Amino acid sequence: MTTDLRDRAIQATCPVVAMPRFGELDPQPQGQRMLLGSNGLFVQMRTPWLECTTRVGDVDMRLPFGEVREAIRFTFGGIPRALLDAFIEHARAALPNEVAGALIYDADTGSLRLSMHEALAAGPAHVRYRIEAMGEQEVLAIDLHSHGRLLAFWSGEDNRDDQGVRVCGVFGNLDRERPSARFRLVVNGLFRDLPHPWDERNGGTPSG
């Protein structure tokens, strides 16, 4: 064990836990921890709206620990399609410019609401915006932006901006009847693709 208080503080906020092979794993408290299992290294994250266990890396040697299973669950269930449709209508009204918004989670009610961000500057390939103040019980859970008439994709700027813990979604080709879309889970710089509303292979709606 380290004697440096700074190291102890880091380990307290992000502990490393060996996955039990025979017993039960202690429940995950709010926050982040790393799980070391026989099948790899995983990050486990719990927030008021998310419970997630996802692989970070493989382990080549045999370890005497239990196996970790990946899982992603949203406490609000699937992302409401009606809220996504409402965002798309705002994005179409702003064509050819981009827009940005978010689905805000209310921990008291367990529900989501759509918030459109105030645009400070916008064009067909960029948007700079201000996020409105949220209530004490609220947290930004799903970050949304549009690409106007361009294809939905993750740009280098998106990769730099998408930090923290949230779901990110982007809609493109908004001049068409059915736009393109991409969704992903972001966990402190780790990206995991999620199904989007028209991904028939995965049920059609981002969900846990």
Whether 141 shows a pLDDT value over 90: the answer reads: yes
CATH code that applies to domain 81-202: 3.40.140.10
Of the ranges 73-82, 130-139, 193-202, which one carries the lowest mean pLDDT score?
A: 193-202
Contact 19, 65 (CB under 8 A): yes
User: Percent of the chain having pLDDT more than 70?
Assistant: 95
Lowest mean pLDDT among 30-34, 95-99, 177-181, 197-201: 197-201
Q: How far is the C-alpha of 129 from the C-alpha of 116, rounded, in Å?
A: 10
How far is residue 84's CA from residue 88's CA, in Å, rounded to a whole number? Answer: 6
Confidence of residue 199 (pLDDT cuts 50, 70, 90): confident
Tokens of 102: 């978010």
Give residue-wise pLDDT tens across range 78-112. Answer: 999 999 999 999 999 999 999 999 999 999 999 99
**Residue that is written with structure tokens 């780790």 in the block:** 190
CATH 3.40.140.10 domain position(s) in the chain: 81-202
Q: Give me the pLDDT at residue 39, please.
A: 95
